[in-house]
Structure 1
Amino acid sequence: MTTEHQVRELKAKYDDEFNRVYELRVENQKLLADLKAARAEVKKTEDAGWDSTLDQAGVDDASDLYNMGRKLRLYEVAPTEETEETAAEDPQDPEQVLMEDVNEGADEDATEEEDIVEI
């Protein structure tokens, strides 16, 4: 095999890999856009469900519960940019709030270990 032939072969492999990486990046961007749209739809549905539940329960419209549901995002699996920004603005740890709510009804004689709830 001549050197020129090896150079052409290596260049062809490089070009193929470069094109493959480019295609994967384009596909990745499309998937990220789809994921962002799906998360927005889930957020919209969760907000509507939260509001509907509070309305059905007869909660006062001025109640902090309306905002609490949006801040805590109880069913969110992975943090999004929006929740990371909210966390940066609100130093209160949502899991800590939940633990305090759980511990309010806990038995006074119970140990701390018994009060631990995995989230």
Structure 2
Amino acid sequence: MLARTDTEALLRELLPARADAILALARPAIELLPTALMAEPEATGLSCFGGRPDLPEEIDWPLDVSEPLIFLAQLNLAELAPHDRQHRLPPTGMLWFFASLDACMGATFAAGEAWRVFFRASPAGH
């Protein structure tokens, strides 16, 4: 990931007329990169992409009308906390992301039934 100064220099070189407008829209981000499995596959409460989420019993698998949504990612916020320099996320808890197949294939995410994000203050399995 480029540092802000590198991004700014690149924008000013390639898009000088639009650089200020684009930079005004920039927001802090945490880059998520998949890595090799670091724990036992049965371990719960870890961040992951795909597979089976550690959904707590009180959260039903979300549907788009009658079709199950696709599980995209599970993020343990305690794992992200050291990288959240602006402290915009809760320091603990879990986020789960789901989307419809159509949304994953390039259709709009505007439809409220086509995606879901769940938050729980305590990590899965606790």
- Please state which band the TM-score falls in when normalised by the shorter chain: under 0.3
Higher strand share: 2
Q: Which has the higher helix share?
A: 1
Normalised by the size of structure 2, how large is the TM-score?
0.26
| Higher normalized contact order (CA 8 Å, seq sep 6+, divided by chain length) | 2
What TM-score do the two structures reach when normalised by structure 1? 0.27
